[in-house]
Amino acid sequence: MTHKVTLLPGDGIGPEVMQEATKVLECLRDEFGCAVEWEDAAVGGGAYDIFDDPLPAATLELAKSSDAVLLGAVGGPDWDDLPRAKRPESGLLRLRSELDLFANLRPAILFPELADASALKSELVAGLDLMIVRELTGGIYFGQPRGVEQRDNERVGFNTLIYRESEIERIGRAAFEVARRRSKRLCSVDKANVLESTQLWRDVMLEVARDYPDVELTHLYVDNAAMQLIREPKQFDVIVTTNMFGDILSDAAAMLTGSIGMLPSASLDANNKGMYEPIHGSAPDIAGRNMANPLAMIQSVAMMLRYSMAQARLSDAVEAAVAKVLQNGLRTADIHTEPHTRVGTAEMGDAVVAALRSAA
């Protein structure tokens, strides 16, 4: 079976890093016999300029008919003043919701070679490799009722933290599956001591756990989890949590690694169809200058191989190639320190492909 992938390069540095991901896909197809084909489509500000829509119908249709989507990044100052629905970021949100991508996987990986980039002591973070699984389509960001209204002569703001048991169960199962592919340890983060909806979260996680006797499930309250992430991040392997807690904890975990140009992410539906993208944005300040770090994008390809294409061996090979170029001392500007060799976007991509090819 040939895997069909939609490539959405997007805006700013998106097309530059996608170019390097495409070189990796070509190498996987030509040297490793990976059955994969791809097609480009427009999204974001560039799509708005041509089609008056940041998510044109043809793009959505192509994404829906694919096995996976690779996204560069969208947005930039040219489109900041548009009405909200026309803004590049709205196109992206619509795409995630149209594809029903409810499970957001955000790894925080710190290659030992880059431990100096972290704000934490290097022995605390060197070799860090944890995964946060965040519920992405429910919880307080979507709950009704919500709003600001006048009550008793003052304004009142309110939101609703609501989870259905089926929503908790499906993110729970996704997280247990991820933990099964890693070291079989899962920590569920909630605030069950104060919030009834997250007591239900904990209860459902315990029920789902019965189907995964090989995975060790633990629980932490979110305040303790935040503290533990900073105190001893390497104690974690996989963390599963609600939309809002995951939003906050995954940014904190990303910053433990200190290098935004290095981190990929995945958003999956119930059938492991997914959208894979770097966590960084379109970086307009460095766009078009061959300065962007393509390694987050390339590692997004590795995640796609693992989670949507069931090609764990090829995923390992891509990750090993990235580790190899770092061991060889190559660094883009964002992660560069002396005495390492500073390279541009294209040179970094070429080096990863050379390392991958030598492993073929």
Binding site for ligand NAD (CB under 6 A): 13, 73-76, 89, 92, 260-261, 277, 280-286, 292-293, 296, 334
Amino acid residing at 88: P
Which residue lies nearer to ligand NAD by CB, 280 or 306?
A: 280
Nearest to 135 by CA among 270, 281, 277: 270
The active-site residue out of 49, 211, 251, 285 is 251
The active-site residue out of 30, 80, 223, 285 is 223
- Angle between the 165-181 and 196-209 helix axes, to the nearest 10 degrees? 50
The active-site residue out of 23, 48, 67, 191 is 191
- 281-284-289-293 Cα dihedral, nearest 10 degrees: -20
Contact 100, 42 (CB under 8 A): no
Contact 5, 25 (CB under 8 A): yes
Using alpha carbons only, what angle is made at residue 122 by residues 129 and 109, rounded to the nearest 5 degrees? Answer: 20
Structure tokens at 155: 């304004």
Question: For residue 182, what are the CA distances in angstroms to 250, 268, 273, 306, 345?
Answer: 18, 17, 19, 11, 30
How many whole angstroms from its chain centre is CA 210?
28
Closest approach of ligand NAD to the CB of residue 54, in Å:
11
Which residue lies nearer to ligand NAD by CB, 165 or 285?
A: 285
Residue 237 catalytic? no
Residue 223 catalytic? yes
Which residue lies nearer to ligand NAD by CB, 197 or 265?
A: 265
How many whole angstroms from its chain centre is CA 211?
26
243 vs 223: CA distance, rounded Å? 15
The active-site residue out of 247, 269, 276, 334 is 247
Which residue lies nearer to ligand NAD by CB, 26 or 285?
A: 285
Closest approach of ligand NAD to the CB of residue 156, in Å:
30
The DSSP string of 296-342 is HHHHHHHHHHHHTS--HHHHHHHHHHHHHHHHTTEE-GGG--TTSEE
The label of the residue with tokens 């970086």 reads 283
Which residue lies nearer to ligand NAD by CB, 179 or 286?
A: 286
Which residue lies nearer to ligand NAD by CB, 114 or 186?
A: 114
The active-site residue out of 78, 141, 184, 203 is 141
Closest approach of ligand NAD to the CB of residue 63, in Å:
15
Closest approach of ligand NAD to the CB of residue 291, in Å:
6
Which residue lies nearer to ligand NAD by CB, 143 or 284?
A: 284
Closest approach of ligand NAD to the CB of residue 287, in Å:
8
Amino acid residing at 129: D
Residue 64 catalytic? no
What is the DSSP secondary structure assignment for residue 219, as one 8-state letter?
E
Closest approach of ligand NAD to the CB of residue 123, in Å:
26
Closest approach of ligand NAD to the CB of residue 353, in Å:
18
Active site (catalytic) residues: 141, 191, 223, 247, 251
